[in-house]
Amino acid sequence: MIKLTNVSKEYPKRGFALRDVSFHLQKGEFAFLTGHSGSGKSTTMRLIHMADRPTAGEVRVSGYSSERVTERDLWKVRRRVGFVFQDFRLLPGRTAQENVAFALEVTGTPTRAVQAKAQRLLSQVGLSTKAGAFVNELSGGEQQRVAIARALANDPFVLLADEPTGNLDERATRGIMELFWDIQAKGMAVLMATHDLELVRRFPSARVFELDQGQLVYDSTQAVEPDASPTLRAD
């Protein structure tokens, strides 16, 4: 599935963003990646999405190794990994359906199948009635649902979510979390980066990785005590 082995990432000006991080995310797992701002959560997500390469160590995603995958083959990795962001990154001036259809079209879904699949994906995220609404007419929570529908377009095996509830109110956050659990229940792994520890505590069955200054300081499956996380315990 996703395996990081002794991964380090050093930027020329910023220095180390990650240092010797190793973990293995299994198929169908739900995991939180926590840590303060600047702890390396987004860098980890980018490395898994292969938007960046590690300076040391190896990232393996569904059989593709960061050491061997070529620029030409990156699209194969990207189709196996869905990605949602805090700021949704939808195309303005297009409807919810058009945003999802866009992802399907550009990844080679046959034209006649695009609209039906886009509708099905929007239904899956509970937005079938808002398919024709323009992005700016949707609430934050609804926009994030469109982004999730788009991320599911290529039936990925894992959904990466980088602070997906960061811009949402409590009610919308709850709805998005329920959606993530639904998605995970259907067999897809979910790795969600968040600094919201309150949110993490609400889902004790989820696996938790914690980063601090680029180092993995806690993995709930490896911990001797269930509340051994330095931050979770201290909070």
Partner 1 sequence: MYAMREAVAAFKRAPVLTGLSSAMVGLALFVVGLFGLATYNLQLALSAIEERVEVVVYLRDDARQSEIDLLLTELADFEEVRQVRYVSKRDALERARVELPEFGELFMDSEVNPLPQSLEVELRQGFRNPEVVEKLSFAAEGYPFVEDAQYGEEWVDRLFALRRIGAASAGVLGVAFALVAALIIGTALRIAIFARRDEIYIMRLVGAKNGFIRRPFLLEGAMAGLAGALLAWSLTYGTYRGVYAYLFEIAWVPGTWVVLGLVAGTAFGAVASALAIRRHLREI
Tokens of 173: 């956050």
**Cα 43 to Cα 4, 23, 83, 213, distances in angstroms:** 13, 15, 13, 12
Beta carbons of 127 and 90 less than 8 angstroms apart: no
Q: Does residue number 76 form part of the binding site for partner 1 (CB under 8 A)? A: yes
Q: Which of residues 7-66 bind partner 1 (CB under 8 A)?
A: none
Q: Does residue number 186 form part of the binding site for partner 1 (CB under 8 A)? A: no
- Give how many residues touch partner 1 by CB under 8 A: 24
Residue with tokens 């639904």: 182
Q: Does residue number 107 form part of the binding site for partner 1 (CB under 8 A)? A: yes
Q: Which stretch binds partner 1 (CB under 8 A): 25-33, 107-115, 173-181, 220-228?
A: 107-115
Q: For the chain, how are helix, strand and coil distributed in percent, rounded to 5?
A: 35, 25, 35
Determine which residue in the list 154, 184, 213, 215 makes contact with partner 1, applying CB under 8 A. 154
Determine which residue in the list 18, 33, 48, 77 makes contact with partner 1, applying CB under 8 A. 77
Exposure string for 121-146, b = 16+ CB within 10 A, e = fewer: bbebbbbeebbeeebeebebbbbbbb
Residue with tokens 């959904």: 159
Q: Which stretch binds partner 1 (CB under 8 A): 78-86, 165-173, 213-221, 223-231?
A: 78-86
Q: Does residue number 106 form part of the binding site for partner 1 (CB under 8 A)? A: yes
| Residue among 103 and 216 whose Cβ is closer to partner 1 | 103
* Helices and strands per DSSP (H, E), number in the chain: 8, 10
Tell me the closest approach of the beta carbon of residue 92 to partner 1, in angstroms.
Answer: 8
Beta carbons of 26 and 187 less than 8 angstroms apart: no
Q: Which stretch binds partner 1 (CB under 8 A): 13-21, 101-109, 133-141, 183-191?
A: 101-109
Tell me the closest approach of the beta carbon of residue 210 to partner 1, in angstroms.
Answer: 26
Residues found near partner 1 in the complex (CB under 8 A): 71-72, 74-79, 83, 89, 91-93, 102-103, 105-108, 111, 150-151, 153-154
